[in-house]
Each structure stands twice: as C-alpha cells, then as structure tokens.
Amino acid sequence: MKAASITDYRELARRRLPRFLFEYIDGGSYAETTLGRNITDLRDVALRQRVLRDVSNIDLSTTLFGQKVSLPVALAPVGLAGMNARRGEVQAARAAAAFGVPFTLSTVGACSIGEVAAGSPAPFWFQLYMIRDRAFMADLLDLAEQAKCPALIFTVDMPVPGSRYRDYHSGLAGASGLFGDMRRAMQAVAHPAWAWDVGVRGGPHSLGNVAPVLKGKTGIDDFFAWMRDNFDPTVTWDDLAWVRERWKGPLIIKGVLDADDARRVADLGADGLVVSNHGGRQLDGVLSSTRALPPIADAVEGRLTILADGGIRSGLDVVRMLALGADGVLIGRAWAYALAARGEAGVSHVLNLMAAEMKVAMALTGVTRVDQLDRSTLA
C-alpha cells in the first residue's frame, strides 16, 4: 500500500511490527475513552472558510524557544521508538533535522543521548521524568547539556504508569520470564522483515539512557520493572523547582490539563508547557487535549509558549490546534507509525504530508502565516 496519510502509515506499521510493539504504540489506558476523544474532539473542530484572499505565499515557519523551525511541529518523545526500526531514534532525529523541526528523545528510548547526538546532524530536545534517584536524573541532565540539547521536556503526568490493557493482551506486559520471551519471539518470527532489520541487525538492544542503572539487564521485563520501581509518586511542585534550578535552558512542562496547574507552571518560571493527557495512555476519562487547550491558553496567554499533543493525525489537525490557542504541536504516534513502516523516509514523508495539508487548510481559511491562526479561524 502506498501511504497517502498518517492513517495509512498506521496500517503499514500494524502489518510490519510484532503485535506487542504495535499495541504499545497504538494503545491507551483502560477503555481508551480519552484516546478516542483526542481524535474525535479534534476532528470535530470546524474551521471558518474564507475566500477571495491572496494566499499565494504561505509561510509555515515559526520560532519555538529561540529555535527557527520550518513547521510549528516537534516530534514528541516516544518510549521504545528505537525498536520500531533499526536504531530508530537516530533515523527519526535525522529526518527531523533535515526538515528543520525538533526531535525529542525519550528517557526510555532505545537509543542513548550519546548515540543520537553522534548520529543526528542537529541538536535535539530531551525528555525526562521525575525519577526516585535524583543523582541519576542529574547525570542525565548533564549528558543532555553536553549534547547541547536546546530544550528539556519534563513530563509530570506519570508519577505511576497507567494501566494499559492492550499491553497485557499482546504479551508485552504481564508475561514475564521464559513464557513471555517465547511469546514475543513467536510474534517477531511472524514478521520476518522487522525481525531481520531490527531484531538481528539492530542490536545491541538496550534501554539507551537507562542502561547504566540496569547493569546489563536488557529485557522487556527489566524495562517495566524499572518503570514501576523508579517513577516517583512523591513528586511535588518543589521537585519541579529543583529541575528548573538545575536546567538552565528552555524548560517545557508536559502533561498539563488544568488551567490552575498551567498558572503554577508559569509562576515556576518554565518557558513552555504541553497540554497533554499522555496520548490517552495515563488517566482514562480525562479531557481531550482539544477541550483542555482553550481555557489553558486563556489562563497563561503571553506568559509562556503553549504546545499541545493528542489526536493529531494531519496538517489540518495542526491548524486546528493552533487556532485553539497552541503556538506549536507535538506529534507522537504519527511519526512512530511512519518510522515503523519506512524508517527515516517514512518520518520525512509524514512531515511533508503535514506541511502540504497545512498549506491547503491555511489557504482555505484565508491566512498566510501561522501567527494569524487564532480563534477567528474557527467557525
């Protein structure tokens, strides 16, 4: 199948990946109500069509945290993304750099900060969780600084991992030891192209940034055990102040859905926030990012840069988010699907698709620059 949309890339990823990896990317928590709302609520946002305006010169570029970008889009952090294609985070970082948008490396990516820094032609953003071991956090921040990461995304909506039923059904979680390894191996063998490209040629397999504290343990079971044991449920605003003091570059707080929390993020001195429900992967039943965004934008307008994620499956969706009050968006599943399907070329294609779709949407709403997109663009 020739991919013409992100939906097409989702299907190609489903065909190529072992089930446990596809379900990990694609799934949400519990009944996946919020996961569905992210898509449907954004799809239901109606734009105001305007005609007979000169839209012959449309500029998609903007500036995010002092960085000129060709598109108001950044690649969101995606855990284990490097298992979707051979050394996958490096491939995605190269595609993002070539297109002129930021790539964000997850704390729990398959590739380390050092590997991505060596393989990417441009600096990348880094994402961090609050971890019980503050010394290890400090080490990661030092590594990010040494790699000249221009921004830090600090994720605050994961004091504990969400309950994701699909991961149990697929054998990614809850199937430990030899039985779990055999179940996942059988799924891999059923997808020989992935098994050869990633399973055989993509080694060594480790959890990148977390590998030093795992001390040689590299299994999926080790990954989930580390997450359960090291994410910190005691985290408070005081801990966030520690991060702000430690990290001198732009700090972006990810996982904000409440206007009062957004005000506290601004008071803390953060440079940006991400309106996000973790892609519907944490607390099911909360607001979609689409519905949470406008009151947050009203609460902190002009005080910091507002990004949003959740349900973005096209350039048209990017336009909708900007019209609702975002300064830029993060895309997660969109690039993860494309990476799984076609590697670096797939990620590049998705960014080109989004740019083309944005230009059409902007032309038909009568705007020529992204800073013209606001609520007057909505029907």
Q: Which stretches of the chain are DSSP H helices? A: 6-16, 19-26, 33-43, 88-99, 113-119, 134-146, 165-170, 177-189, 192-194, 211-214, 220-230, 237-246, 259-268, 289-300, 315-324, 333-365
Q: What is the pLDDT of residue 285?
A: 96
- Catalytic residues, by residue number, are 278
| SS3 category, 68 | strand
d(Cα 38, Cα 155) in Å, to the nearest integer? 19
Q: What is the pLDDT of residue 57?
A: 97
332 is in an annotated binding site: yes
- Please write the tens of the pLDDT for every residue from 190-234: 888 988 898 888 877 777 787 777 666 656 666 677 777 777 888
Q: What is the pLDDT of residue 229?
A: 75
156 is in an annotated binding site: no
d(Cα 175, Cα 217) in Å, to the nearest integer? 17
Tell me the mean pLDDT in the region 47-59. Answer: 97
Residue 145 has pLDDT above 70, yes or no: yes
Q: Which domains does the chain have, with CATH numbers?
A: 6-367 (3.20.20.70)
Q: What is the pLDDT of residue 343?
A: 97
Q: What is the pLDDT of residue 192?
A: 86
Tell me the mean pLDDT in the region 274-290. Answer: 97
Residue 321 has pLDDT above 90, yes or no: yes
Amino acid at 252: I
Tell me the mean pLDDT in the region 116-132. Answer: 94
94 is in an annotated binding site: no
d(Cα 279, Cα 150) in Å, to the nearest integer? 24
91 is in an annotated binding site: no
317 is in an annotated binding site: no
Question: Could you tell me the CA-to-CA distances from 209 to 114, 135, 146, 179, 206 in Å, in that order?
Answer: 9, 14, 14, 27, 9
Give the lowest-confidence range in 166-170, 171-175, 259-263, 310-314: 171-175
Tell me the mean pLDDT in the region 36-53. Answer: 97
The torsion angles phi and psi of 52, rounded to 5 degrees, stand at: 55, 50
Q: Give the pLDDT band of residue 130 (cuts 50, 70, 90).
A: confident
Q: What is the pLDDT of residue 169?
A: 85
312 is in an annotated binding site: yes
Residue 362 has pLDDT above 90, yes or no: yes
129 is in an annotated binding site: yes
Tell me the mean pLDDT in the region 292-315. Answer: 97
What is the chain's length? 379
Q: Give the pLDDT band of residue 181 (cuts 50, 70, 90).
A: confident
Q: What is the pLDDT of residue 329?
A: 98
Q: What is the pLDDT of residue 175?
A: 63
77 is in an annotated binding site: yes
Q: What is the pLDDT of residue 37?
A: 98
Q: Give the pLDDT band of residue 159 (cuts 50, 70, 90).
A: confident
**What count of Cα atoms within 13 Å lies in the side-chain half-sphere of residue 159?**
7
Q: What is the pLDDT of residue 231?
A: 79
53 is in an annotated binding site: no
Tell me the mean pLDDT in the region 274-298. Answer: 97
CB atoms within 10 A of CB 124: 25
Residue 89 has pLDDT above 70, yes or no: yes
164 is in an annotated binding site: yes
Residue 171 has pLDDT above 80, yes or no: no
Higher pLDDT, 109 or 223: 109
**How high does pLDDT run on average in the chain?**
92
30 is in an annotated binding site: no
Q: Give the pLDDT band of residue 131 (cuts 50, 70, 90).
A: confident
Higher pLDDT, 227 or 348: 348
